[in-house]
Structure 1
Amino acid sequence: MSSILEQPSPDPDKRAFGSENADEKTDGATTESAIDSRDGDEALVLVGRDKQADFTDEYNRRLRRKLDLWIPPLCAAVYFTQFLDKTSLNYARHAPIMNFPIKGQNYNLVSQAFYIGFLVWEFPTVYISQKLRLAKYLGTNIVLWGIVLMAHAAAPSFGAFFALRFLLGMFESCVAPSLILIISMFYKKEEQATRISWFYVMVSHIANGLTSVFGGFVAYGISFYDGHRIAPYKILYLVLGGLAIIVGICVLIWMPDSPVHAQLLTQEEKIAALERVRNDQGGTSNRTLKLAQVKEAVLDIRTWLVVLSTMLTSIPNGGLSNFSNQIIKSFGYTSKQTLILSTPGGAIAAGTTLFCGWYSDKKGERMTPIVIAIVPTIVGAAMLIGLNNKSGAKGALLFAIYLVGTFGSALSTIYAYNASNTSGHTKKVTVNAMTLATFSVGNIIGTEIFLPKDAPAYIPGKIAIMVLLTAQLFICFLLRWINTRMNAKKREHLEKEKARKGWTDADVRRERERSAFLDLSDKQNIFFVYTS
């Protein structure tokens, strides 16, 4: 049996339906010539507006398996490298073991420099990436930040460290938006949260997931070197920078820009990959900046609630990703013990991320998994506050710091929320940029909630974490209610259109298929369904 079951072409006189202001001038005979270059999606080059073929379930399963062995591992390598490099400061700081020269408030400022560079370059980088081949742009940035990271080993002063961390933030700012776009191009909505969790598991904060497991052991091994030829922290930066360059080269060679440019897929598989995601109405890629979609993103209340959610999650991350080891050390452990004891927290956070990603896709939910992730963090923060200075509480405090790390998967689910609930390429990159810019602002603020004057207990910072994430619970329920309400309104609108135009159910299916790759925003496209 052939892998493709040919379907008859729909009536060419039926016009594509998106919204009142959708492009009505194109018809079934006009595929790539009229809309794919500017108005529509680049997928139109391969599949056109009308669905021509169905692929068997077995064929699609084999294709998804092939994608799973290819794209998520590359995404994971990128994210692993990014967060290992970003948090290298946390490992390098273990003076006198690492002989790191930056201390006190200067350390806080150097920590902030990364996020300042990230914030400054977030919007430019996503719009530049829209104009270029996405994966090639990503790979180039990875190689550049690897070079910058290696240069940390030669930095002679606070000013040099600040400048290098600023550049590191600039080059790394394209990572999450690029990976979210790539996942949304190749995977259906009910598959996206799981795949995002597969790469985000590398950095499921507190000590940044599996990154902390690897980084902790690397730093622990380097700490045994006596530093008579080169300071141990310099070895750390040279090793991590070299790893980033290797990963960047791999991305340049193997990461696909989109299904249309997926070099490891056959022509038939490229078409099948596009047809798999057609009904999700999310599209793939369009290189034209559409100001109307920028405006829609900015005026969408959900965008600002996502921004607020990201802020509430990122402030704790900014503090914990740079100060978690100091908190563990304050329980009474040595510097070397702290490096090892940080690793179980990463493993627990990683498990939470994988579970929440699976649950999110299994139940078709995005907000409930966030609640599941942040409740243990609130409990853990309360334990850290309540058990402070209590004798015999050393083990309980360590357990509490592990609980705190579960909140990291909330940001993974926010990424999945953006991927599943936004369409129109310009709107996608705008919402992603706003999300990641807020991530940067939150992390900048977060570096200031653990101040030297509050050491070693850092009680004000722990209280801030508990309060911020409690507020996040209410935002989750509000976003869920808004999406449910918007879906109900879309159903009502569609029923009115069916009655007005005399559409049958078959007509609705056909019009839904034809609207998939017109690069319509989620509000323009009546067939788009939000994931709550």
Structure 2
Amino acid sequence: MSSPVMAEVKEPTTAPSHDLPALIARTESKSITDEKHSVDVEVDEVVTDGLEYKDEALKLVGMQRTQEFSEEYYRKLRRKLDYTIPPLCSAVYFTQYLDKTALNYASIMGFPVTGQGYNLVALSFYIGFLIWVFPTMYISQKTRLGKYLGVNVVLWGIIMMLHAIPRSFGPFFILRLLLGMLESCVAPILILIISMFYKKDEQATRISWFYLMNGFSAIVGGFFAYGVSYTTDASIPSYKIIYLLLGGLAIIVGIAVLLWMPDSPTNAHMLSHEERIAAIERIRDDQGGTENRKLKKEQLIEALTDFRTWLIVLSTLLTNIPNGGLANFGNIIVKNFGYTTKQTLILSTPAGLIGLITTPLVGWYSDRTNERMLPIVYILIPTLVGAAMLVALNGSNQKGALLFATYIIGTYGSSLSQIYAYNASNTSGHTKKVTINAMTLATFCVANIVGTETFLPKDAPGYLPGKISILVLLSAECFLCLFMRWYNLHLNKKKRQGVEELKHINGWTDEDIVKERQRHAFMDMTDKQNPYFVYTS
């Protein structure tokens, strides 16, 4: 064991952290000439050094599984997690969606900014979101996720309440900008937390549980705004009451997150030491890891150069340009069918019910079939039918058919939860996860900014160009989803071939492969670096 090759391998303490994959590669290549037992020892010597470069989970469980837990124990642990994490995630998402769309209700309840000024106030949220989404995610990587999230929720609650003060364009623009900045951390952090605590075949369901709050908040928000619209106090317009009450709700939710949301399995306060170990071991085989607070340049570069990243960016763009228009102009479109303000507020609630039903159904189906892209195609079919109806019946007096079209068009909303689940299941390496989640949400912002501008005042009251854009973009998304599915299956085939090649070259048995897979689980390697990572289609 004194060969020059092995001497080089035994220098990880002086090698820079970014050379770890190369060190591992050199150690594995030595296995061609050395005996298998010797290789196992040398790999352990390399990968247990430089712990700051690897996953935080190694502090509790090490490179190999040393403790076994029964499936019943894992089920009880999962139920315990379900009592805390999804409810808090749902409360945050419920609050965020209500606060983000409060402007939609305010627009028909005396909001003092109209016309193009209203459009600019609407898109300022997404400008703030876009400005801050990358900085906030890299800050969150250096801090405790739950605490960082809670602070942001409390702060945006305060910003919401401040919306009751101004009467002109400028202050509203600034407040919406700040609101977007503070809310930009929500989805990426929730995705990271779900991916830390849940297995791949559980993630889409849990993500759908908090994402369905979009539909639930649309129902609650509609009835809430309807009730507020009956206020008779001329000194405080209805829209101000909405902002004050929703801001107070956000502050309460933020405090709950600060108190009870766990940061990671390694320090979850509601788990015993044994349960923390079990929480980590139950996700070991997924090769996704938990967290690492070191920002890794090579993972950042890989995220930016990975073809799959740009497919996700394009998919997010295609599904959220329509969202940008409908989120801010949905009530205006319905009102232009010939309904009063109060009728519009009530008639908007069934659209939320559609999302409330389809989102968990899609999440359940996604986990059950281990599919991410096909469910998106299925839920886009009703949307395309609804968009086609809005285009074909534009300007007609068929109020019932037009209203029905606005309801079924909302099934597309579940697609973003699937994109979230796709990222959670198909990305490894903490810096890469953070970067891709941030890119997804940055694209979400760009798409919503563009979407806001597809519904221009000059096109009122029909807004035909905006309706056509929905039909065209979501049709393209269907074809993109099918390609993304094929591409992941293609990559998995290459992964299997690579593992078989390693097995043949090193003379490994199936048991050796199991050990190697366990060893790689918490090395904070990316999905491309880790030969044992399996993509979800």
Normalization by structure 2: what TM-score? 0.92
Q: How does 1:199-278 map to 2 (within 5 A)?
A: 199-203=210-214, 209-278=215-284
Paired residue type of 1:218: F
Instruction: Note if 1:100 corresponds to 2:100.
Output: no
Which of the residues 347, 351, 367 maps onto 2:373? 367
CA distance in 1, matches of 2:224, 2:127: 27
Which of the residues 41, 48, 51 maps onto 1:36? 51
Instruction: Note if 1:409 corresponds to 2:410.
Output: no
Q: Report Cα offsets for 1:419-460 as digits up to 9, x if no partner.
A: 000000000001001100000000000111111111111111
CA distance in 2, matches of 1:293, 1:428: 9
Q: How does 1:263-412 map to 2 (within 5 A)?
A: 263-391=269-397, 393-412=398-417
Q: Report Cα offsets for 1:56-98 as digits up to 9, x if no partner.
A: 011111111111111011000000101100000001111xxx2
Q: Which residue of 1 aligns with 2:66?
A: 52
Q: Which residue of 2 aligns with 1:147?
A: 158
Q: Report Cα offsets for 1:235-276 as digits up to 9, x if no partner.
A: 110100000011111111100110011100011110100001
Q: 1:31 to 1:155 in 2, by over 3 A?
A: farther
Instruction: Note if 1:115 corresponds to 2:126.
Output: yes
Indicate the percent of aligned positions where both proteins have the same amino acid: 63
Q: Secondary structure at the match of 1:260?
A: coil
Q: Which residue of 2 aligns with 1:7?
A: none
CA distance in 2, matches of 1:463, 1:22: 53
Whether the aligned pair in 1 keeps the contact of 2:24 and 2:46 (CA below 8 Å) is: no
CA distance in 1, matches of 2:45, 2:143: 26
CA distance in 2, matches of 1:279, 1:336: 53
Q: Secondary structure at the match of 1:54?
A: coil
CA distance in 1, matches of 2:177, 2:84: 32
Aligned length: 507
Which of the residues 83, 96, 104 maps onto 1:90? 104
Which of the residues 126, 139, 143 maps onto 1:132? 143
Whether the aligned pair in 2 keeps the contact of 1:115 and 1:169 (CA below 8 Å) is: yes
CA distance in 1, matches of 2:321, 2:373: 19
After TM superposition, what 4+ stretches of structure 1 lie above 3 angstroms from structure 2?
18-33
Whether the aligned pair in 1 keeps the contact of 2:48 and 2:63 (CA below 8 Å) is: no
CA distance in 2, matches of 1:118, 1:191: 29
Please identify, of 423-432 and 454-463, the stretch whose mean Cα deviation from structure 2 is larger: 454-463
CA distance in 2, matches of 1:34, 1:20: 14
Whether the aligned pair in 1 keeps the contact of 2:24 and 2:47 (CA below 8 Å) is: no
Note the residue ranges of structure 1 that are not aligned, 5 or more in a row.
1-12, 204-208
Q: How does 1:136-175 map to 2 (within 5 A)?
A: 136-175=147-186
- The CA deviation at 1:36 is 2.5
Normalization by structure 1: what TM-score? 0.93
Whether the aligned pair in 2 keeps the contact of 1:31 and 1:44 (CA below 8 Å) is: no
Whether the aligned pair in 2 keeps the contact of 1:116 and 1:440 (CA below 8 Å) is: yes
Structure 1 vs Structure 2 CA RMSD: 1.7
Paired residue type of 1:149: M
CA distance in 2, matches of 1:105, 1:239: 27
Please identify, of 18-27 and 465-474, the stretch whose mean Cα deviation from structure 2 is larger: 18-27
- The CA deviation at 1:99 is 2.1
Q: Secondary structure at the match of 2:412?
A: helix
Whether the aligned pair in 1 keeps the contact of 2:312 and 2:440 (CA below 8 Å) is: yes
Whether the aligned pair in 2 keeps the contact of 1:35 and 1:518 (CA below 8 Å) is: no
Whether the aligned pair in 2 keeps the contact of 1:318 and 1:446 (CA below 8 Å) is: yes
Q: Which residue of 2 aligns with 1:8?
A: none
Whether the aligned pair in 2 keeps the contact of 1:22 and 1:524 (CA below 8 Å) is: no
Instruction: Note if 1:63 corresponds to 2:77.
Output: yes
Q: Which residue of 2 aligns with 1:433?
A: 438
- The CA deviation at 1:19 is 6.0
Paired residue type of 1:372: Y
Instruction: Note if 1:75 corresponds to 2:89.
Output: yes
CA distance in 2, matches of 1:22, 1:310: 35
- The CA deviation at 1:390 is 2.9
Instruction: Note if 1:456 corresponds to 2:461.
Output: yes
Note the residue ranges of structure 2 that are not aligned, 5 or more in a row.
1-9, 11-19, 28-40
Whether the aligned pair in 1 keeps the contact of 2:354 and 2:410 (CA below 8 Å) is: yes
CA distance in 1, matches of 2:454, 2:422: 28
Whether the aligned pair in 2 keeps the contact of 1:222 and 1:232 (CA below 8 Å) is: yes
- The CA deviation at 1:373 is 1.5
Paired residue type of 2:258: L
Q: Which residue of 2 aligns with 1:445?
A: 450
Whether the aligned pair in 2 keeps the contact of 1:281 and 1:423 (CA below 8 Å) is: yes
CA distance in 2, matches of 1:464, 1:221: 34
- The CA deviation at 1:30 is 5.8
CA distance in 2, matches of 1:23, 1:480: 30
Whether the aligned pair in 1 keeps the contact of 2:47 and 2:523 (CA below 8 Å) is: no
Paired residue type of 2:420: Y
CA distance in 2, matches of 1:287, 1:20: 21
